[in-house]
């Protein structure tokens, strides 16, 4: 063998030549030394020479090769054929193949040539892999046993005994991936165990990493589990609902995953199909059913038990702990409802029970949404409750008033609770007759545009102002308008704001529309867009308040229904920048009068209206003209122009018009605030023509506050007043 310069010394070359001459040519393959070979002369295992096999005839190592390590001297111990396999390598007592330069031999402590330093040198490389492999095996066994026994506490202890917290992510991944290929029972068990392990046994960062690994491996999982996207999306949504994954997990993971990967598809489905759905928490919590240990009935029993204990002991801290331990934040409305019922049944325990709710609200155990929902549920069933609790309606009203006065209940978010329930039922025959008349009235209105005629006809058809008939009219009006062009849609919105129906009647009409939206969609493919725009326009026109959207949602929403899409789109439209102006002109503006009005035209008309009234016009005529404008969202312009004219001319006739408009409800407090705010913006310019403009305006602000037009917190400094769009 020819050795190149710089590889081995002359001494080593001579040793190699001697070993080659003494070796059996049939059992030894040529040796090629390499700088990378673990058998090089520099190896710590052979400090003096490369290893060469000893002759079987020299077990003591005598002769020329006596100073060589007898690594392959095994002939006397293993009576097997030592000849090489085909290709000249692999046999006992051989050097291996020509290109076999890596040391792949497994160390055997029983080998007479065993060197402990070899194992020490390589232990640092193999130990981490061995630890992880052992952890994987044990984790798989623990998960299998858990699915068989459903022992959460026992499983938690086993995971603790495993140790190796740095591998917690693998347990999370293994638990979820093994449950994905099983029944709903195992999936629910996996979700419950994850919540139990979180923080106490498995570090939150390891849970996060475990779900990251699952998302990354979605492309591999789908090979064996076809519905991986659906199941894994549910697991992630459940983890977010259970507060073991932050919502930001979705965006962060989506940022670095390939756009065409299944992981991105999983994250998108989690966000759009599950977490964005109405009542998503309740739906996700029950997606695989509930564990046998946490049924809804069991939770109700637990609530009753700890409330009874609280009434007996008065231990508020213990009761708060019980609320936390239930771990059902989406079901806290049941606690509120049962506390209220118990307070109504046991009047002597009313004070401590309300104190518990107050403490839970202030400390954040029960959020405002769940608090309002609990009261709302009781309002819905108060009539049935009256059969067992005399004067239940009056008692509930007192409880609501006390909670509102203490600041832990928002009464404006609740349904109205009158002392006597309203009776709005009508006979089927009367309803059918009214529907026929309504259709004729609306069709004539679309031809003539005469709002006064519609008012007159409605007074005759619904002389008692029945709320149910008003709701039917709202539904019929919008249904007929949706089948026509933008002109008729605009006319319908203008008419709706001009009729001044009670808000509850309009809400009932929209509820009826949304409930029938699935059927309407068969004939009108864009029913979602149309209904959302009508609903948003009603809010902008101040026919409805924003809180009425939530009331509509609680009455007619179902998961995945057309109604839920309508409400989501409505809220999206209202949140947009300059939403009021855009929605007001969505169909061209101007209603029945013309195809569309520019804002400058509206300003001119308002100016002429005020001039006519100031010169001796009638206040009722001025109010009628304002109604016919059909733009209540723009009434702040009336307030502004009336104030400026009053300050300039020092004539309070227009002040009387503002008073009449506010008291009749034609101009709302919101529009008053905007109008006064816009005047405050232009005070510096106004002072150039009227030196005492600021003094006069300050006087009018105080008078407006005294009359109830403005809130006491209103300030007209340039930095603090409300802007035209209602923002600060």
Residues 214, 173: contact at Cβ < 8 Å? Answer: yes
Indicate the range of 51-55, 108-112, 520-524 predicted with least confidence: 51-55
391 dihedral zone (left: phi>0; alpha: psi -120 to 50; beta)? left
User: Which residue matches tokens 């009021």?
Assistant: 580
Q: Would you state the pLDDT for residue 60?
A: 41
Q: Would you state the pLDDT for residue 367?
A: 83
Question: Does 547 score more than 90 pLDDT?
Answer: no
- Give the residue from 80, 63, 61 showing the smallest Cα distance to 71: 61
Residue 401 sits at the vertex; the CA angle it makes with 395 and 402, to the nearest 5 degrees, is 90
84-96 pLDDT, tens digit each? 444 444 454 445 4
Residues 627, 498: contact at Cβ < 8 Å? Answer: yes
Task: Name the pLDDT band for 650 (thresholds 50, 70, 90).
Answer: confident
346-391 pLDDT, tens digit each? 888 888 888 888 888 888 778 887 888 788 878 877 777 777 777 7
Q: Would you state the pLDDT for residue 130?
A: 76
325-354 pLDDT, tens digit each? 777 776 788 888 888 888 888 888 888 888
Determine whether domain 128-285 maps to CATH 1.25.40.180.
yes
265-302 pLDDT, tens digit each? 999 888 888 887 766 776 787 788 754 445 556 777 88
Q: Would you state the pLDDT for residue 612?
A: 84
Kindly report, as residue ranges, where domains of CATH 1.25.40.180 are found in the chain.
128-285, 296-413, 428-584, 599-707
Residues 141, 171: contact at Cβ < 8 Å? Answer: no
CATH of 599-707, one of 3.30.1330.120, 1.25.40.180, 1.10.10.10, 1.10.3720.10: 1.25.40.180
Helix intervals (H) in 418-524: 428-448, 451-461, 467-482, 486-499, 503-515, 517-523
6-35 pLDDT, tens digit each? 555 666 666 566 655 555 544 444 444 444
Residues 669, 709: contact at Cβ < 8 Å? Answer: yes
Question: Does 257 score more than 80 pLDDT?
Answer: yes
Determine whether domain 428-584 maps to CATH 1.25.40.180.
yes
Q: Would you state the pLDDT for residue 618?
A: 83
475-515 pLDDT, tens digit each? 889 988 888 888 888 888 888 887 777 888 888 888 888 87
Q: Would you state the pLDDT for residue 105?
A: 52
Mean per-residue pLDDT over the chain, rounded: 75
560-619 pLDDT, tens digit each? 666 778 888 888 888 877 777 778 777 775 443 443 455 567 777 888 888 888 887 788
Question: Does 680 score more than 80 pLDDT?
Answer: yes
What kind of fold does domain 296-413 have according to CATH?
1.25.40
Q: Which two tokens stand for residue 111?
A: 């080998």
Residues 264, 257: contact at Cβ < 8 Å? Answer: yes
DSSP codes, 572-599: HHHHSTTHHHHHHTTT-SSTTS-S---H
């Amino acid at each position: 063998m020819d050795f190149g310069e710089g590889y081995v010394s002359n001494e080593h070359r001579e040793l190699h030549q001697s070993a080659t001459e003494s070796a059996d040519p049939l059992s030894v393959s040529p040796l090629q030394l390499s700088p990378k070979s673990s058998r090089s002369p520099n190896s710590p295992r052979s400090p003096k020479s490369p290893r060469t096999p000893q002759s079987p005839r020299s077990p003591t190592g005598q002769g020329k090769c006596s100073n060589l390590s007898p690594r392959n001297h095994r002939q006397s111990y293993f009576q097997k054929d030592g000849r090489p396999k085909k290709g000249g390598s692999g046999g006992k007592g051989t050097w291996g193949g020509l290109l076999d330069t890596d040391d792949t031999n497994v160390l055997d402590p029983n080998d007479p040539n065993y060197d402990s330093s070899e194992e020490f040198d390589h232990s640092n490389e193999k130990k981490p892999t061995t630890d992880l492999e052992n952890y994987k095996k044990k984790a798989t066994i623990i998960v299998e046993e858990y699915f068989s026994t459903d022992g959460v506490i026992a499983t938690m202890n086993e995971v603790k005994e495993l140790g190796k917290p740095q591998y917690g992510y693998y347990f999370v991944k293994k638990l979820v991936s093994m449950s994905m290929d099983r029944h709903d029972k195992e999936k629910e068990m996996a979700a419950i165990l994850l919540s139990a392990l979180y923080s106490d046994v498995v570090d939150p960062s390891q849970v996060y990493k475990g779900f990251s690994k699952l998302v990354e491996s979605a492309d591999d999982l789908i090979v064996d589990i076809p519905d991986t996207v659906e199941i894994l999306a549910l697991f992630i949504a459940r983890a977010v609902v259970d507060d073991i994954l932050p919502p930001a997990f979705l965006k962060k993971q989506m940022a670095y995953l390939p756009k065409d990967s299944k992981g991105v598809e999983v994250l998108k489905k989690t966000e759009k199909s599950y977490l964005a759905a109405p009542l998503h928490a309740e739906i996700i919590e029950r997606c695989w059913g509930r564990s046998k240990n946490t049924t809804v009935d069991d939770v109700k029993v637990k609530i009753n038990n700890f409330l009874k204990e609280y009434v007996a002991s008065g231990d508020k801290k213990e009761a708060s702990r019980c609320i936390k331990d239930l771990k059902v934040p989406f079901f806290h409305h049941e606690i509120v409802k049962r506390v209220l019922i118990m307070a109504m049944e046991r009047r002597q325990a009313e004070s401590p029970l309300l104190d518990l709710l107050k403490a839970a609200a202030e400390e954040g155990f029960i959020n405002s949404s769940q608090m309002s929902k609990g009261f709302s549920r009781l309002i819905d069933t108060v009539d049935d409750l009256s059969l067992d609790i005399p004067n239940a309606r009056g008692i509930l009203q007192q409880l609501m008033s006390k909670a509102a006065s203490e600041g832990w209940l928002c009464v404006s978010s609740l349904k109205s609770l009158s002392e006597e329930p309203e009776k709005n039922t009508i006979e089927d025959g009367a309803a059918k007759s009214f529907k026929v008349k309504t259709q004729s009235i609306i069709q004539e209105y679309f031809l003539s545009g005469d709002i006064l005629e519609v008012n007159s006809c409605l007074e005759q058809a619904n002389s008692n102002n029945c709320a149910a008939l008003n709701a039917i009219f709202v539904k019929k009006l919008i249904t007929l308008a949706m089948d026509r062009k933008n002109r008729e849609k605009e006319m319908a919105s203008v008419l709706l704001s001009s009729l001044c129906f009670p808000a509850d009647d309009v809400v009932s009409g929209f509820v009826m529309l949304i409930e029938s939206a699935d059927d309407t969609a068969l004939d009108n493919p864009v029913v979602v867009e149309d209904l959302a725009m009508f609903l948003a326009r009603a809010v902008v026109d101040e026919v409805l308040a924003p809180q009425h959207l939530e009331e509509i949602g609680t009455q007619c929403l179902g998961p995945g229904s057309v109604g839920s899409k309508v409400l989501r789109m409505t809220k999206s439209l209202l949140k947009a920048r300059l939403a009021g102006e855009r929605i007001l002109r969505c169909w061209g503006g101007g209603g029945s009068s013309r195809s569309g009005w520019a804002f400058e035209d509206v300003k001119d008309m308002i100016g002429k209206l005020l001039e006519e009234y100031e010169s001796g016009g009638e206040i009722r005529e001025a109010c009628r003209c304002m109604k016919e404008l059909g733009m209540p969202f723009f009434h702040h312009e009336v307030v502004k122009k009336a104030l400026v004219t009053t300050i300039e001319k020092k004539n309070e006739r227009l002040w009387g018009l503002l008073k009449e408009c506010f008291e009749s409800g034609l101009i709302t407090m919101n529009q008053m605030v905007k109008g006064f705010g816009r005047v405050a913006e232009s005070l510096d310019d106004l002072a150039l023509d009227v030196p005492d403009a600021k003094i006069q305006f300050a006087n009018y602000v105080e008078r407006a506050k005294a009359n109830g037009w403005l809130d006491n917190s209103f300030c007209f400094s340039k930095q603090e007043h409300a802007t035209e769009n209602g923002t600060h």
